[in-house]
Amino acid sequence: MRPPRCLLMTTGNNTVDFHPSLDRNGKIYLSTINTWSEPSWCPAQSLSSLLISIQSLLSQNPYHDEPGFEQERQLGDSKRYNEIISHETLRVAVCEMLENLDSCPEQFREIMIQQFFKFYDYHILVCTENMDNDDQLMRDPFRGRCGSFQYSSIFTRLVQLKSELEIIELSRKEQQPTYSNIQNIIESSDNRALIGLSDDELISDDIFNDVEKYESENKNEKAEDDDDDV
């Protein structure tokens, strides 16, 4: 049995390596999917275990995960690499992916929006703390120059995204059916054709009127019985 094929979609149009094992072209170097050395894929593994393996790649010091770089080649390389990954995570994995939400798998979109709101304050904090680095060159220890820091621009994009996603979420919630909305549809004769039900299948106003009439008659009868007892 062959392993599942995996493609990393968060690459900034093939410009960003988020980890030595996550290629900018979307390739994931992992032994369990036979793209790296042993141990290889076996049928006993599942998609869940595969996703956990990919997640485990995202360590706090990815620089040292590159074979042969267990020790820094130049002092501070690991820190510089982390700074680049932090910046590109906000620029690409957060802003760019959410700005192009329609290109993402539909099953992930709601989760992505929820995670954005959950970590929004933290993202804003990272931007404000690093704006002094704007326009400084990013020097990838593996690939050399790779653009410059642009935290002010990312800050603006995050604020704009929050505004747009709040509108999307509000619209989505308004479209979700509630009990009162469903009841109004059922009770409205104007919507009978819309929901495809006949008069006999609907809970009509006459039924509610009959109930009110029945309750009123019962109250009157009870009052008369009380008078007779007196």
Q: How far apart are CA 146 and CA 40, in angstroms?
A: 33
Q: Is residue 54 part of a domain?
A: yes
CB 54 within 8 A of CB 28: yes
Tens of pLDDT along 158-189? 999 999 999 988 887 777 665 555 555 445 54
Within this chain, do residues 44 and 80 fall inside the same structural domain, yes or no?
Answer: no
Q: Is residue 10 part of a domain?
A: yes
Within this chain, do residues 100 and 148 fall inside the same structural domain, yes or no?
Answer: yes
pLDDT of residue 202: 43
Q: Is residue 200 part of a domain?
A: no
Q: Three-class SS string for the chain?
A: CCCCCCCCCCCCCCCCCCECCECCCCCECCHHHCCCCCCCCCCCCCHHHHHHHHHHCCCCCHHHHCCCCCCCCCCCHHHHHHHHHHHHHHHHHHHHHHHCHHHCCHHHHHHHHHHHHHHHHHHHHHHHHHHHHCCCEEEECCCEEEEECCHHHHHHHHHHHHHHHHHHHHHHHHHCCCHHHHHHHHHCHHHHHHHCCCHHHCCCHHHHHHHHHHHHHHHHHHHHHHHHHC
Q: Which domain holds residue 39?
A: 1-58
- Domain boundary, last residue among 173, 199, 218: 173
Tens of pLDDT along 178-222? 555 555 544 554 444 444 444 444 444 444 444 455 455 555 555
**Number of compact structural domains in the chain:** 2
Residue 78: count other Cβ atoms within 10 Å of its Cβ. 19
Region 114-141: mean pLDDT is 95
Q: How far apart are CA 126 and CA 98, in angstroms?
A: 18
- Amino acid identity at 49: S
* pLDDT band of 113, cuts 50, 70, 90: very high
